[in-house]
Amino acid sequence: MTTFMLVHGAWHGPWAWDRVVPLLEAAGARTLTVDLTGDHGLHDHAALVIAALDGVQEEVVLVGHSYGGLVVREAADARPGSVRHIVLVDGWAGPDGASMFSLAPATFVKAVSTLAEASEDGRWIPAPPPAAYGITDAGDAEWLAPRLVPQPLRTFAESTRLTGAVDLIPGTAVYCTPPSYPYDRLGASAGYRTLPVPGPHDVMLTDPEPLARMLLDAAQEQQETVQ
């Protein structure tokens, strides 16, 4: 049985996977979600994933969406024996020392920094509206909007700490099409195979079925390669 550990992206929570989890479990997989909560930085979020990895006996398929890509790679680097495959879903990835602010376009960095400066204490980035994640359906937008939460600014500023152990773990970079950013390039630069999935950045909400199939296929192909 495959165990998927699902890590959400910025401004989101474990609920981001609510539409994917039942599909994975119906296919016989076990699922675990990690809550990147609180006024923390990137390293604190990686520590939460590391603690979750320490709590399971089996190797997992570690999945990170968007900002969660940086988190899962740092966690996997610290616990390479616990992760048999990494899957990025429109995920950020970079070498040791990379951060969201070093990888993202200057326009993004300026926009979120301005939002944080306008917040009450300058430490939080208010959540963008659902449309920023490619959500156009009114029902999906109504479901998503009240669940979004502010993101600590330091999560985007902190640089990842990697020893190189993560580079020995196979990976798949699933990128949404049409693309909002060249996540396929980021995945390829990390040495991962890249696979397109039609849908917006929050594809797990709008198109959970094809995404679940891709996660299951990635896990199955990795298992067959090992055997």
Domain boundaries, the chain: 3-99+160-226
pLDDT of 96 over the 90 cut:
yes
CA 134 from chain centre, in angstroms, equals: 16
- 3-state percent breakdown (helix, strand, coil) of the chain, nearest 5: 45, 20, 35
What is the predicted pLDDT for the residue at 121? 84
Q: Which residues pair with 175 in a beta bridge?
A: 196
Task: Assess whether pLDDT exceeds 60 at residue 226.
Answer: no
- Show Cβ contacts of residue 40 under 8 Å, excluding neighbours closer than 6 positions: 48, 152, 154, 155
User: pLDDT at residue 57 above 60?
Assistant: yes
The fold of the 3-99+160-226 domain, in CATH, is Rossmann fold (3.40.50)
pLDDT digits (tens, 9 = 90+) for 115-131: 999 887 889 999 999 99
What number is the average pLDDT over the span 139-156? 97
Measured between alpha carbons, how far is 56 from 82 in angstroms, rounded to an integer? 8
Q: Give the pLDDT of residue 112.
A: 93
Q: Which residues of 169-192 are buried (b: 16+ CB within 10 A; e: fewer)?
A: bbbbbbbbeeeebebbebbeebeb
8 A C-beta contact, residue 34 and residue 48: yes
Q: Which H or E element spans position 34? A: strand 30-34
Residue 227 above 80 pLDDT?
A: no
